[in-house]
Amino acid sequence: MAENAEPLSITAEACANIAFIKYWGNRGVGLNLPLNVSISMNLESCVSRTTAAPLSDAADDEFILNGRPAEGDAARRVSGFLDRIRETTGRREKVRVSSENNFPFGCGIASSASGFAALARAATSLFGLNADETELSRVARLGSGSAARSVMGGFVELLPGETHADAFARQLAPASAWPGLRDLVVVVSSEEKAAASLSGHSLAATSEMLPGRLSAVPARADRVRRAVADRDLTSLGEAAELDALSMHAVMMTSRPALPYWKPGTLAVMEAVRDLRRGGTEAYFTIDAGPNVHVLVEEENLSRAARVMTDELGFRTIASKAGPGARIVESSP
């Protein structure tokens, strides 16, 4: 690229993440300020690749998702996110955003997290905003709360905060800190879920279960932090299972209720318990959707995958801890 030349496009990649301690429910409106702390691991095998390019004399942004023009709420959400960056930078040009995922999107495998983390990295660079990872996590959070955690690599914590400045992500440990941990995504359904997480967060406060969940999260989060530091799968898995069940109890008792599970979800949960009863250490966790993540050490991955694929008939995606959001291409 010529010196001082403006880039015509920036391409960034970011990983989806799996939350061991879940984020569900926002404080206030518009800033995606989480009600509670959350902790996750980036998934190396689940990646969004997003390109941002300026549009000359265009009246609106364009959003291409997996090769198809996106309209409606998805397009408005991306444009609203870009508007916030334009307000910060003083830039006015519209942008063409092209994003592709190598995993099913919109079905509870954190495609919004990886997509907005990649877009935050690409768009801030395109508009000349020099943001470190902490600030970039704040920016990404405006698109999707969980995207803040995908900005940084490895094991990441999102602090809730009561203001925009206070709600940011920080790395607990790099991806190399636990090389043997594996997450096996069991794809029960790749259909786009009817209730998006963004709308579901606003319903959390209607559940009578929410106060109990919020009071229990800090102790579970402490347990997860220690488990990551000690590479303690038993402690991590027990806390992750309990937290997933707690979050889904809130979802199922909100008004209206959000029952994301399908029969296959329950079958996978029971298969994980059967693995443990048979001496194979494995634990489940479930984000806002029907698909199940199975946490195992590397030596037990093939056994767990065979059960999910051969016995239950589901597609699986195996992943270790992955990197943070990064620019992979810049075109002059």
What is the CATH code for 9-175+323-331? Answer: 3.30.230.10
- From 38, 18, 41, select the one nearest 231 (Cα to Cα): 41
* Start-end of CATH 3.30.230.10 domains in the chain: 9-175+323-331
Write the pLDDT tens digit of every residue in 166-192: 999 999 999 999 999 999 999 999 998
Write the pLDDT tens digit of every residue in 219-262: 999 999 999 999 999 999 999 999 999 999 999 999 999 999 99
- The overall average pLDDT reported for the chain is 94
Average of pLDDT values for 194-219? 91
Write the pLDDT tens digit of every residue in 84-135: 999 999 999 999 999 999 999 888 888 999 999 999 999 999 999 999 999 9
Write the pLDDT tens digit of every residue in 13-57: 999 999 999 999 998 778 999 999 999 999 999 999 999 999 988
Give CA separation, 198 vs 32, 83, 99, 213, 257, in Å. Answer: 9, 18, 19, 19, 15
* Start-end of CATH 3.30.70.890 domains in the chain: 181-319
Average of pLDDT values for 285-302? 97
Write the pLDDT tens digit of every residue in 121-136: 999 999 999 999 999 9
pLDDT at 199 over 90: no
Rg (CA), the chain: 19
Assigned fold of 181-319? Alpha-Beta Plaits (3.30.70)
**Residue 254 to residue 273: CA distance in whole angstroms:** 27
DSSP output for 56-116: TT-SS-EEEETTEE--HHHHHHHHHHHHHHHHHHT---EEEEEEEESS--SSSS-HHHHHH
Encoding tokens for residue 192? 């786009």
How many CB atoms sit inside 10 A of residue 280's CB?
16
What confidence score (pLDDT) does residue 110 get? 87
Task: Give the global pTM.
Answer: 0.95
